[in-house]
Structure 1
Amino acid sequence: MAYNKMLVLQTDFGLVDGAVSAMHGVAHTVASDIQVSDLTHEIPPYDIWNASYRLYQTIKYWPADTVFVSVVDPGVGSARRSIAVKTKSGHYVITPDNGTLTHIYKYEGVEAVRVIDENKNRLPHSQESNTFHGRDVYAYNGALLASGQVAFEELGEDVPVDSLVTLPVIEPRLQGDTAVGTIDVLDVRFGSLWTNIPLEMVKELSIDRGDSLLVTILHQNVAVYQEQIPFVRSFAEVNLGQPLVYINSLVNIGIALNQESFAAVHHIGIGTDWQVKISKVNK
């Protein structure tokens, strides 16, 4: 079994206690020679949408055969499934089946799904614990898979790909001379808004850098922000504290303030309740 011995962990646990370290420890106990890395452990508590997006944002930049473990699990101990999936790009993800795979399923594609038996396939002597599946089920099985001690096909029963739990996603669209999308996620540390409007869509509207854009942000269909904003290549092209539209690292439209948090200043959130409309201001 030719797995690449790379395991990447994502959780909403934070680093204020020993939970993440315990997951690392279990993985290295299973296979001392695997490389264990962290995607992030700062997903907002219980925020499955955010976990889904961060996986999608990151997974493509890792080599094929890398195993990802994502644990944002408000339903731990319930009837929700524990699953392992193989993506069409050749990566593996072990996670609760609660919507965490929404963006990968929709935009990357899933080739196969296995349901993990939480009672059998778990850290030895952990059967009495039902609240730390991140350590006892996910990190444990992730390390077994990454090290090649078990094959993907041995992790559990094969189930249909379309049985995966997914969250609602609203596709970006053109509405006359306006691009309409949603705010998928924040560039958390800096407070920039990352939309799902791709560069190619605004090009269809003959929008280019240097143009002034009318940006409208709506929450539950009520406009909460509207302003003319320059479309630029870099933050340095506007003064401190001024707004800008730019292309983010996923080649989608981003909206920001130079060296301030757009999300905090204007009280903007993320998800399908938050809509963005962008059109060109004719000179």
Structure 2
Amino acid sequence: MTNNLLVLQSDFGLVDGAVSAMIGVALQEEPSLGIHHLTHDITPYNIFEGSYRLFQTVEYWPQGTTFVSVVDPGVGSKRKSVVALTEQNHYIVTPDNGTLSYIKKHVGIKAVREISEVKNRRQDTEHSYTFHGRDVYAYTGAKLASGHISFEEVGPELSVDNIVELSVVDTVVEPDLVKGTVDILDVRFGSLWTSITREEFYTLAPEFNDRFEVTIYNNDMLVYQNQVTYGKSFADVRIGQPILYINSLYRLGLAINQGSFAKAYNVGVGSNWHIEVKKI
């Protein structure tokens, strides 16, 4: 069952009327909806980032919440429009373009249905091909969140196994070393959030204040190598010093106390950004 809550995410930004149009469409469908925003500052076209931000956020909302995520560089193409029901009973309305990757891997998906655009698309928009966020996703999301349609009425069921997934680099765990990728930034503060889980890092039997050799590569090019202290929080090192820590998603993070690691060392994110943490 849905709960009249609708949470929006996109790469549209707030500099024009796109997000406002989505809100308006949703409120036309049901004026009592509680509409909230995850973010509209996803890097343009970055499906992985959209996928990660859903994973970062969804489980903290009440069961039955409906999310609309529109990072859709393939808008107007043959990619499917879907609604996923997660194992924790949240609904995600999104293109089937890889956006559901992190949810499927780390949360779990019970079922997926393809949005039937005959029934679940705003009237008189069939000749508009580039704003499915307004005409299909916000509209369907509002109908679902308000209970005006059931999950079954979204459209035909698809195989969860066949949804589009982004390639993910597996963590390598060795006796004195873990290797992963820099998945994403804690954007405002410039901290690096890696793919290395707390459990994977703990195979190195770390203790607070231990030092580890941290190496970062962009493809095969060495970008950073230094000894870094493992701490509980940023204040465990002096201002300007780097620190390894476990972030709010139980992943290994790398930060500078009161500074931006990403800016200081010009570090990016994605599968080509590799990080190694070695016990000294």
Task: Report TM bin, short chain.
Answer: over 0.9
Q: Is the 8 A contact 2:175 2:204 kept in 1?
A: no
Whole-Å separation in 1 of the counterparts to 2:247 and 2:277: 16
Q: Provide the residue aligned with 1:115 in structure 2.
A: 114
Whole-Å separation in 2 of the counterparts to 1:22 and 1:254: 37
Which aligned runs of 4 or more in structure 1 are off by greater than 6 angstroms? none
Whole-Å separation in 1 of the counterparts to 2:265 and 2:176: 25
Following TM superposition, by how much is the alpha carbon of 1:133 offset from its aligned partner in structure 2, in angstroms?
0.6
Whole-Å separation in 2 of the counterparts to 1:13 and 1:217: 31
Alignment of 1:199-278 (within 5 A): 199-278=198-277
**Pair 1:172 & 2:167 matched:** no
Whole-Å separation in 2 of the counterparts to 1:217 and 1:118: 46
TM-score normalised over the length of structure 2: 0.97
Whole-Å separation in 2 of the counterparts to 1:238 and 1:207: 16
Amino acid at match of 2:199: E
1:133-171 Cα shifts (integer Å, max 9, x gaps): 101100000000000000011111111111100000122
Alignment of 1:139-218 (within 5 A): 139-218=138-217
Q: Please identify, of 231-240 and 132-141, the stretch whose mean Cα deviation from structure 2 is larger.
A: 231-240
Whole-Å separation in 2 of the counterparts to 1:141 and 1:202: 41
Q: Is the 8 A contact 1:183 1:271 kept in 2?
A: yes
Following TM superposition, by how much is the alpha carbon of 1:239 offset from its aligned partner in structure 2, in angstroms?
2.0
Q: Please identify, of 203-212 and 53-62, the stretch whose mean Cα deviation from structure 2 is larger.
A: 203-212
Whole-Å separation in 2 of the counterparts to 1:117 and 1:46: 24
Amino acid at match of 2:62: P
**Pair 1:47 & 2:46 matched:** yes
Structure 2: stretches of 5+ with no match in the other structure: none
Q: Is the 8 A contact 1:119 1:127 kept in 2?
A: no
RMSD over aligned Cα atoms: 1.1
Determine helix, strand or coil for the equivalent of 1:186: strand
Q: Is the 8 A contact 2:144 2:150 kept in 1?
A: yes
Give aligned pairs, total: 280
Following TM superposition, by how much is the alpha carbon of 1:118 offset from its aligned partner in structure 2, in angstroms?
3.0
Q: Provide the residue aligned with 1:27 in structure 2.
A: 26
Following TM superposition, by how much is the alpha carbon of 1:119 offset from its aligned partner in structure 2, in angstroms?
4.5
Following TM superposition, by how much is the alpha carbon of 1:89 offset from its aligned partner in structure 2, in angstroms?
1.2
Q: Provide the residue aligned with 2:92 in structure 1.
A: 93
Amino acid at match of 1:237: D
Amino acid at match of 1:98: N
Whole-Å separation in 2 of the counterparts to 1:198 and 1:161: 25
Q: Is the 8 A contact 1:185 1:195 kept in 2?
A: yes
Whole-Å separation in 2 of the counterparts to 1:26 and 1:79: 24
Whole-Å separation in 2 of the counterparts to 1:228 and 1:243: 9
Q: Is the 8 A contact 2:64 2:89 kept in 1?
A: yes
Following TM superposition, by how much is the alpha carbon of 1:37 offset from its aligned partner in structure 2, in angstroms?
0.5
Q: Provide the residue aligned with 1:124 in structure 2.
A: 123
